[in-house]
Amino acid sequence: MTKMQKPLYFSFFPRKCLSCGKLIDYKAYYCDSCRAQMPFIGEERCEQCGCGREHCRCKHKSTHYEAVLAPFYYEGGAKRAVIKLKRYPIYAEPLAKECAAVFAQYYGSIPFNFVCPVPMGKKRRRQSGFNHSAALAKEIAAQVGLPVQECLTVVGNAKAQHTLDFCFRAGNVRGIYDIIEDNAVSGKVILLVDDIKTSGATLNECALMLKLGGAKAVYALCVSVAKGQE
Ligand SMILES: [Zn+2]
Ligand SMILES: [Zn+2]
């Protein structure tokens, strides 16, 4: 047996740390010091807001999704990586790997039928060239061994959520999503994937539509959640 060779690709395009850009080993995603500083969420979590107990401010407000889970808070190196994911699909794989790790820990025993990404409107997809949540969903699905089913679509016009104050976000996304085909979701247990949860309005609206379409349960998985959302 010969020792595993470094793929030729990485000789021409060496791997760089996702956070600081330093050259690193081709199997790693972060340099050692950036990985140590990544804003991982602690073990004790709130299912409703996804934060560690110490940063939960949601008062366990009920949501249309059963739970939300993420490896990171939306800050530091995780925030930089999520911003890059919106432009470069290559970031989907390493971020999906972190998502798959928390999936195994917290969602491993749930009998999911498929993974569904939060959809993106045609205009925004034209601007960015791809739906980063769909790219992420595809990578997560491959890593946790589930199929992907894009069963939501954007039917209305909404402003980008990050341009609005939190108090306007639920109204901004109300009624803008729809189910592509009711048969696909009826009775199903669905893993809903997005890059970030800030106010939670997008996930909640998507989960509501899936439930109205007859979904049995909807669990959300994101790369990062904002700390201390009410
Ligand atoms: Zn680094
Ligand atoms: Zn909470």
In one letter, which amino acid is 156?
Answer: G
pLDDT digits over 159-185, tens only? Answer: 666 676 777 667 777 778 989 987 899
Tens digit of pLDDT for each residue in 104-128?
Answer: 999 999 999 999 999 988 777 777 7
pLDDT category at 222 given cuts 50, 70, 90 is: very high
d(C-alpha 70, C-alpha 99), whole Å: 6
Per-residue pLDDT for 3 more than 60? no
| Nearest listed ligand to the Cα of residue 49 | 2
User: According to the model, what pLDDT value does residue 69 have?
Assistant: 97
| Closest C-alpha to 225, from 30, 36, 79 | 79
Domain ranges of the chain: 46-225
Ion ligand 1 neighbours, Cβ < 5 Å? 17, 19-20, 22, 31, 34
pLDDT of residue 218: 98
Nearest-angstrom CA–CA distance, 30 and 48: 29
Residues 165, 170, 171, 176: is their CA dihedral positive or negative? positive
Determine whether 8 is exposed, middle or buried from the number of CB atoms within 10 Å of its CB (0-12, 13-18, 19+): exposed
Q: In this structure, which residues have their CB less than 5 angstroms from ion ligand 2?
A: 46, 48-49, 56, 58
pLDDT class for 188, splitting at 50, 70, 90?
very high
Which pLDDT score is estimated for 5? 65
Q: How confident is the model at residue 1 (pLDDT cuts 50, 70, 90)?
A: very low
* b (16+ CB within 10 A) / e for 41-80: beeebbbbbbbbeebbebeeeebbbbbbbbbbbbeebbbb
Residue 12 confidence (pLDDT) above 80: no
> What letters, b where the CB count within 10 A reaches 16 and e where it falls short, cover 132-170?
bbbbbbbbbbebbebebbbbbbbeeebeebeebeeeebe
Residues ≥6 apart with Cβ < 8 Å to 126: none
76: Cα separation from own chain's centroid: 17
Half-sphere exposure of 137 (CA within 13 A, CB side): 23
Q: What angle do CA 205, 210, 214 make, to 5 degrees?
A: 140
* Residue 115: per-residue pLDDT: 98
pLDDT at 11: 65
Q: For the segment 129-166, what is each residue's pLDDT rounded down to a tens digit?
A: 889 999 999 999 999 999 999 999 998 776 666 676 77
Per the CB < 8 A criterion, the answer to whether 102 and 178 are in contact is no
Dump pLDDT digits (tens) for 25-71.
877 788 889 888 889 999 899 999 999 999 999 988 889 999 999 99
Distance, CA 122 to ligand 1 centroid (Å)?
35
Tell me the ligand closest to 25's alpha carbon. 1
CA of 196 to the centre of ligand 1 (A): 21
Local structure of 155: helix, strand or coil:
coil
pLDDT of residue 165: 74
Fold held by 46-225? Rossmann fold (3.40.50)
Identify the band that residue 14 occupies on the pLDDT scale cut at 50, 70 and 90: confident
